Amino acid sequence: MKVLVPIKRVIDYNVKARVKSDNSDVDLTNVKMAMNPFCEIAIEEAIRLKESGTATEVVAVTIGAKASQEQLRTALALGADKAIHVETDEKLESLHVAKLLAKIVEQESPELVILGKQSIDSDNNQTGQMLAALTNRGQGTFASKVDVDSGTVKVTREVDGGLQTVELKLPAIVTTDLRLNEPRYASLPNIMKAKRKPLEVIAAASLGVDLSPRIQLVSVNEPAKRSGGIIVEDVAQLVEKLKTEAKVI
């Protein structure tokens, strides 16, 4: 079984995004970038499927500028067998990404696609579901457990108020939630080996997808700041303030 794992290069999760002074966007110049945390979980799950003998090949794919090859090399160092870079300098929306990925799915015919549920930059939480729609596959979103059987995959989903388990016909799409696994770190020898693994570059424009914008970014602003509070001495003062000043208890 072949597993395709789309990944994304995003701002490092420890870095606080700053808004540009002209309010046109978030300023990413000289900001540390990394693989989106949910994508790391997706790669990890695919590699575990390979280690358990369920998957035979893990293919990582990313869509973006040349720099995103860095994250593909990370995926290869973690254990992916080959990587595909769909190169574009355009700022793409989830729908564009899903359409480009649908082309890669057509080309690679994976039985399972595992993606992060959301990227921590645009916070859209859309791509996996859209890819499932465009490829007419079942979707198991926000997965905390993935069990592949012959011809099906059981996915336990993190839903409001508990867990829901669904069974999908393969081929299918799964998106990862936090508790699915704990991603490993790449070892130095594996990082060296990753440099020799195959990385195919495809121009996004060659895939025949309409990439014209559907959403116009009007402006980006800082959120309203909370005014600073006070430090209370003890529990008695805290309860007193909550009762008489804040009047919330």
Partner 1 sequence: MKTLVIADHDNGQLKPETSKTINAAVKLGFAVDVLVQGADISAMANDVALIDGVSCVLVADSSAYAHQLAENTADLVLSLASDYSHIVASATTTGKNFMPRVAALLDVAQISEIIDVVDAETFKRPIYAGNAIATVKSLDTKKVITVRASSFDLQSDQAAAPLTTIDANLENQLSNFVSVEQTESERPELTAADVVISGGRGMQNGENFALLNGIADKLGAAIGASRAAVDAGFVPNDMQVGQTGKIVAPNLYIAVGISGAIQHLAGMKDSKVIVAINKDPDAPIFQVADYGLVADLFDVLPELETAL
Q: Among residues 136, 150, 185, 188, which is the contact residue for partner 1, using CB under 8 A? A: 136
Is the CB of 53 or the CB of 161 nearer to partner 1?
161
Does residue 159 touch partner 1 according to CB under 8 A? yes
Query: Residue 96 and residue 211: Cα distance in Å, rounded?
Result: 6
* Residues near partner 1 (CB under 8 A), total: 82
Residue tagged 């025949």 (tokens): 208
Tokens matching residue 231 = 């430090």
Q: Among residues 148, 168, 209, 211, which is the contact residue for partner 1, using CB under 8 A? A: 168
Is the CB of 56 or the CB of 237 nearer to partner 1?
237
Q: Among residues 103, 145, 154, 184, which is the contact residue for partner 1, using CB under 8 A? A: 154
Q: What is the DSSP letter of 186?
A: P
Q: Strand 82-87 to strand 199-203: parallel, antiparallel, or no bridges (unpaired)?
A: parallel
Does residue 22 touch partner 1 according to CB under 8 A? no
Instruction: Give the distance from CA 15 to its chain's centroid.
Output: 17
3-state secondary structure of 201: strand
Q: Among residues 103, 145, 184, 241, which is the contact residue for partner 1, using CB under 8 A? A: 241
Does residue 158 touch partner 1 according to CB under 8 A? yes
Residue tagged 């791509």 (tokens): 127
Residues 75-104 that bind partner 1 (CB under 8 A): 93-95, 98
Query: Residue 113 and residue 132: Cα distance in Å, rounded?
Result: 9
Does residue 149 touch partner 1 according to CB under 8 A? no
